[in-house]
Amino acid sequence: MAKASPVARWSFANGAWAFGVAGPREFLRKALDYNLRDGVAEKIRCPLWWATPKATLFFKGQADELFNHLTCNKTLLRFTEAEGAGAHCQMGAGRLAFARMFDWLDETLAPS
């Protein structure tokens, strides 16, 4: 798969690097440990701001799945192509993403 797709090649290499493992096979094995079983998301108590592009290339559907499991004060913000923020991690629209993140922090953490 990695030979045919530069996206897959990068994903496996980056995943192995992020997990601190030797290669794609070990990365995929370790990634299975990350799941929503046993109510792990429901244990999160701090306010959570979650951002995702509407047309994400990676982890499609996972933002919604996690968000639906959260029971804490939560915000899911979707960025769009029209905003220039439709890429993974809102690449190309850092100023917009950070502005929205800091606005959320001000609103959520400001003393009452």
pLDDT band at 26 (very low <50, low <70, confident <90, very high): very high
Contact 47, 76 (CB under 8 A): no
CA angle, corner 81, sides to 99 and 60, nearest 5?
A: 95
pLDDT band at 57 (very low <50, low <70, confident <90, very high): low
Q: Amino acid identity of 14?
A: N
Whether 75 shows a pLDDT value over 90: the answer reads yes
Question: Residue 80: its pLDDT value, please?
Answer: 80
Mean pLDDT over 28-51 rounds to: 92
Q: Both tokens of residue 75?
A: 């915000």
pTM as predicted: 0.70
Higher pLDDT, 58 or 5: 5
CA 9 to chain centre: 19
Contact 37, 13 (CB under 8 A): no
Q: Both tokens of residue 98?
A: 């950070």
